[in-house]
Amino acid sequence: MSTQRLPVQLPPLTAAHLTQFRSMIADIAENGQMAEHDTALLTRLVADLPRLRSTQPADVQDALQVLDQNDAVLTAALDGFKESMLDIQDVLDGARISAHQMVQSAALAALAERVHAVSQAAAEVALRAKERSDMLRRHERAP
């Protein structure tokens, strides 16, 4: 991932922002908190945000792209972590490792491999989340 400095006043036009806006509009519509024509207007405005993004200066577009790439990598890391956690869930469901497993090197090696996969996936999530946090923090502190 790039460590470029994010521009000042980065507009809320990342893919994550668009997803959040769409979710908020869906919640508003579902709960009947706004007239249907107003909800439709918000939906059209959000649909136009990618076009607005394309009119931003190149450095802003580049920074938004970096955040979007990080979003995709972080999402993939989270999915990998969830998958590795599901893979080891049967071990976690048991209170302890059985005596039979404790004396079988192959079973212990398999367990070690599965736990290692979880730790690797967790480390990847931590790295990507920290990276995104740092990018956003640099934007918050930008002069």
Same domain flag for 36 and 89? no
pLDDT at 143: 53
**Domain co-membership, 85 together with 113:** yes
Residues 66 and 131 grouped into a single domain: yes
Q: What is the pLDDT of residues 6-19, one digit of tens each?
A: 555 688 899 999 99
**26-66 pLDDT tens trace:** 999 999 889 999 999 999 999 999 999 999 999 889 989 99
Domain residue limits at 19:
11-56
Helix, strand, coil: what percent of the chain each, to 5? 80, 0, 20
Query: Are 28 and 70 within one domain?
Result: no
Distance CA 134, CA 105 (A): 42
85-133 pLDDT, tens per residue? Answer: 888 887 777 656 777 777 888 888 888 898 999 999 999 999 999 999 9
Residue 5 lies in a domain: no
**Number of domains within the chain:** 2
DSSP code for 61: H
Looking at the fold, whether 66 and 106 belong to one and the same domain comes out as: yes
Whether residue 5 has pLDDT greater than 60 = no
